[in-house]
Amino acid sequence: MDYYIGKICDATQPMTFIRVFAILILADKEMTIFEFVDNGICDQELPVTGGRSLAPLSQSFDCIKTWGRLQQEAFDKWLWRIDVPFLTDGQDIIKFHRRAVLPFITRSTEQSNGLEDSDYSRVEPYMPGTGGYGEVSIVEIHPKCHNFQCRPGLQLHRPEGPFALKKLHPTRNRDIEKDFMNEVKMLRTFNGNVHPHIVTVLMAFKHGDRCCFLFPWADCDLLTYFETKTMPDMNITNFHWVAEQTLNITEAVHHIHFPPGVDSLSPDMKLYGRHGDIKAENILVFNEKNNPLLVLSDFGLGSMHHDWSKSMVPNRQIQATPGFRPPECDMENGHISRAFDVWTLGCVFLDILIWLLGGETLRRSFESDRMAASHPQGLQTPTYFEVIQTDNGRFGFIIKEQVNKWFAELHRHDRCTDFVHEFLELIQQRMLIVETQSEKRARTHDLVASLKTLRDKALRDERYCLGANPYDRPSNVPTIAEGMLSEHAKRHITASHAIPRTVSGPTQLAEQTFEEGDVLIRDLRDRRDRRI
């Protein structure tokens, strides 16, 4: 008997039987524990991580072949309730059996099947809510069932969390497994260890067919922060915060575009990243010691590319947030490069400055005006650019008229200061650019340098931040980037029965930037076009 007691109670042995014994007690079959021990059917044989199937039970465990149906069902029921997995910080994708009960604390006494049920205790809608490809919730984990409290730099409000749980949606015409592996790759490559303003995934796992991620919990996202802090004070603290956090986010994007150490690799090994979905909802706010920190999150649309292909991704392969998408998404033969992120970052920064000057009310007004059609037959879209027709009847792309008017109005705003003037000019002249032969968007290393200059001036000179200095900024006739529409853009215009307005002005051919390493590809394309 001492032998069996030792086997059951000694947790230091490679084979343990304490969970098996508990299951047998609950199933009123405790006296069969001797048979389980003799046959080596231990806790490690239980199927919580998807190793062994229990259907049918009689084919899985010889010890219960002679049991009745009700006894087998009782064993099966208690097995899943007792064999709860331990969640651990790591790089590997963990696969849990679809019936595994994950250690999320439930609000009711009814059995919960982990991710298969939505009845979590204290699970509230996470601020980013439900997106097109995933749903994020706040969850709490039993403190005895995880080791995330040991992760350096992770501050938990309580031993049980909370944490952010992201579940990918199975959607039509999308390969969810491919999406999952792509996001895992991005999150492993770019995380808080690379830059503190990039979110770090705690674990990636599959629960049955559900693809999931677990992250540190944030207080809110940037959009919710705007809505909560409806009118920021015009004080030096807020200006310093904007200067510091916009620089931090830009540095984070730069680290994605140019991963540390990439220059030391051979050309065939170099991989460069792109986020692909920068927007306020994907920038998390972590409140650390009453100092809100902005952290870039959600790499669901991100990608990694070799140097020779990073500017050659066809726009038809890209899913983008409609309102923030850059013009190349609607261009024939348009390609998505890292300049994509510069455009979307400019959209976010413009929102931040509008909120800084006039709060959430002014920011909402900008959002509403941006939706307005340029003329009665125009297209009502939330984009920052519009498709127009030139005098010769060709299609072109320009910054939306309403957006340019807002830039002018912001320069004239009663609260506008020299800091805001310079920041607005950076966005308008170097970020929200429809690229042509002569006009190109800035790259992140240039933006980082410019924002460091803005930040340093803000820290040195209080009047630079707080001294109101509104003025009329002369408007320039916009250069029209002339180019053909993508098939998607053509279908959208046809379906809406709208006619793009005619705009007069200087034109240049729309031409996207080829980044370093792409010159050879551009030359090959030019030779091909000449042959055609």
DSSP secondary structure string for all residues of 11-59: TTSSS--HHHHHHHHHTT-GGGHHHHHHTT--GGGS-TTSSS--SSGGG
Tens of pLDDT, residue by residue over 48-102, are 665 555 555 545 677 777 888 888 888 888 888 888 888 988 778 888 888 888 9
Tokens of 79: 């097995």
Residue 80: partners with Cβ closer than 8 Å, 6 or more residues away: 99, 100, 101, 113
- Angle, helices 339-371 vs 236-257, to 10°: value is 130
Give the confidence band of 343 by pLDDT, cuts at 50, 70, 90: very high
Angle at which helix 444-460 crosses helix 236-257, to 10 degrees, equals 160
H or E segment to which residue 183 belongs: helix 176-189
The region, left, alpha or beta by phi > 0 then psi within -120 to 50, assigned to residue 43 is: alpha
Cα(390)–Cα(395) distance, integer angstroms: 6
Which two structure tokens, joined as six digits, stand for 242? 């904007």
| Cβ-based neighbours of 519, under 8 Å, separated by 6 or more | none
Alpha-carbon distance values, 443 to 305, 324, 339, 446, 494 (Å):
17, 18, 7, 5, 35
Predicted local confidence at residue 466, as pLDDT? 97
What strands, in cross-sheet order, belong to the sheet with 210-216? Answer: 93-96, 203-207, 210-216, 163-168, 134-139, 125-130
Domains along the sequence of the chain with CATH: 2-82 (no CATH), 93-217 (3.30.200.20), 221-531 (1.10.510.10)
pLDDT score recorded for residue 524: 36
DSSP state of 267: T
CA gap 322, 387 in Å, rounded: 14
Is the pLDDT assigned to residue 353 strictly greater than 60? yes
Mean pLDDT of 310-338: 67
Q: Is the pLDDT of residue 268 over 60?
A: no
| Mean pLDDT in residue range 318-341 | 78
Convert the pLDDT of each residue in 164-198 to its tens digit.
898 887 665 567 787 788 777 777 776 666 778 98
In whole angstroms, what is the distance from residue 337 CA to residue 275 CA?
10
| Residue 204, token pair as written in the block | 């990636």
Q: What is the pLDDT of residues 418-473, one digit of tens each?
A: 999 999 999 999 999 999 988 999 999 999 999 999 999 999 999 999 999 999 98
Residue 132 has pLDDT above 50, yes or no: no
Lowest mean pLDDT among 33-42, 128-137, 252-261: 128-137
